[in-house]
Amino acid sequence: MSADIFAALVAFAFVSSVTPGPNNFMLLASGVNFGFRRTVPHMFGIAGGFASLLLAVGFGLGALLAAFPTLHLVLKIAGGAYLLYLAWRIAMSRSLDTKEGKDGRPMTFLEAAAFQWVNPKAWMMAVTAMAIYTSPQAPVVSVLLVSIAFTLVNFPSVSIWAGFGTAMRGFLADPVRLKWFNIAMGLLLAASLWPMLR
């Protein structure tokens, strides 16, 4: 992979990682409700889970799903149902969690990593990246380079959303503002299903 192509890949990884989508809406809400430090495992989970998804797609899972459309449909339905559950959970959150003992909690590393496997935007990003930036002449190296590029760019990109949420904590300490913010985040997360349903 030439330096120009790798630079284009990094730009694609940044733009696709930093734009709104299920992960970033959840990180914004987590930053508001739990603070930046407690959201870090969620951020690492996104980076790790997406890297594993990229490798799987690059090494043949994408072709498997294309060959078995029913499996793809099951994945879409499971992902959509789980995303709606998370949207409901965010929308119903009503208080800032500043102590470990409260009922609410941020996503764990494993939960966030597993979510990448049912996240419609993550699948679109992985399939697109592998289709555009891998080379049949060097399949293993190019798949690894795509995964490395996304891993390097992903964490800083998602940190922006968690940081912005954390910065909003003071303004959203008011219960009424927090309630409407969480409802809006839940609705935006549910609306992010739209590309998958078309």
Q: Which of 196, 194, 181 is nearest to 30 (CA)?
A: 181
Per-residue pLDDT reduced to its tens digit, 64-120:
766 777 876 776 777 677 778 777 877 776 666 645 445 578 889 999 999 898 887
pLDDT (tens digit, 9 = 90+) per residue, 23-47? 888 898 888 888 899 999 999 999 9
Question: Tens of pLDDT along 110-160?
Answer: 999 998 988 878 888 888 888 888 777 877 888 899 899 998 898 898 899
**Distance (Å, whole) CA 23 – CA 140:** 28
Whether the model pTM is above 0.85: no
Sole residue written with tokens 């002449």:
137
First to last CA, the chain: 34
| Residue boundaries of the structural domains of the chain | 3-197
